[in-house]
Amino acid sequence: MNINLLVVDLSHWDPAEDYAQVKAAGVCGVVYKATQGTGYRDSTYLKQRQAALKAGLLWGAYHFGDGSDPQKQVDNFLSYAQIDDQTLFSLDWEDNASSQMKLDGARRFIELCEQELGRVNECVVYSGNTAKEFLGNRKDPFFGAHRLWVAQYGNSCVCQASWDHYWLWQYTDGAYGPEPHTVDGCSPDGIDCNHYDGAPDELAAEWTSGVGPAPVPPSELVVTITIDVPPGITVNVVQNPAVPC
């Protein structure tokens, strides 16, 4: 597929050098690390936020979750990230060997964050294998009601069963995955880049809405097959449950 790079995500490891160049390169939105756990705050976040907004880019903030108290993590995030009604907010739920955020912790963080902001179902869930490992093959209505920002570095991706489709797809970490790995105005060594299926105006309309791609209506998921066979012949139909994004 053709990569439609409309969003980058950054942190103190790779802050942008020139957001005017980032925008000129065709990027529409930036999601930046604000906090981690109960105490860490990215010291570059506030200046980067100011510069990106000045350049006319969409702005988002993410919190890197760990295994500590979800309420204290929410307090850390919301007291620092300056989230207004134009700011996307996201939970970064990924592998963390030192302190893993588990399923109940992720759910509680999202619930508390949305309650305090008054923005139900608007938290974007960033995850790759972590969500798949904790949720398995089951469909979870709570997580499925939130937009998925899936991380999988390759030419395609597969969503956990709770989601019919991703909202954003982080297709590269700047080293692995398809090109492009770089954006003008950012580190030439490569950054996290994200594909969006639609046009820039569609991305802008959905940025803080909590609304992602429309799910396929159930009627469109039904396949009717007519098979004419001689008497005495048994036909077995096997459905493959693995549906790629």
Reported as half-sphere exposure (CB side, CA atoms, 13 A), residue 238 has a value of 2
Q: Tell me the CA distances in angstroms from 55 to 15, 19, 91, 124, one per residue in order.
A: 15, 6, 25, 23
Position 243 scores a pLDDT of: 42
Q: Is it true that domain 5-221 has CATH number 3.20.20.140?
A: no
Q: Tokens in use for 196?
A: 């969006």
| Listed range (18-22, 214-218, 228-232) with the worst mean pLDDT | 214-218
| Listed range (27-36, 79-88, 210-219, 223-232) with the worst mean pLDDT | 210-219
Measured on CA atoms in the order 183, 185, 191, 192, is the torsion positive or negative?
Answer: negative
Position 242 scores a pLDDT of: 45
Instruction: Transcribe 165-196 into DSSP letters.
Output: S-SEEEEESSSSSSSP---TTS-TT--EEEE-
Q: What share of the chain is helix, strand, coil (3-state, %, to 5)?
A: 25, 20, 55
* pLDDT tier, 227 (very low <50, low <70, confident <90, very high otherwise): low
Residue 9 and residue 174 in contact, taking contact as beta carbons nearer than 8 Å: no
Residue type, 96: N
* pLDDT tier, 145 (very low <50, low <70, confident <90, very high otherwise): very high
The pTM score is 0.86
Q: Phi, psi (5° rounding) for residue 195?
A: -95, 140
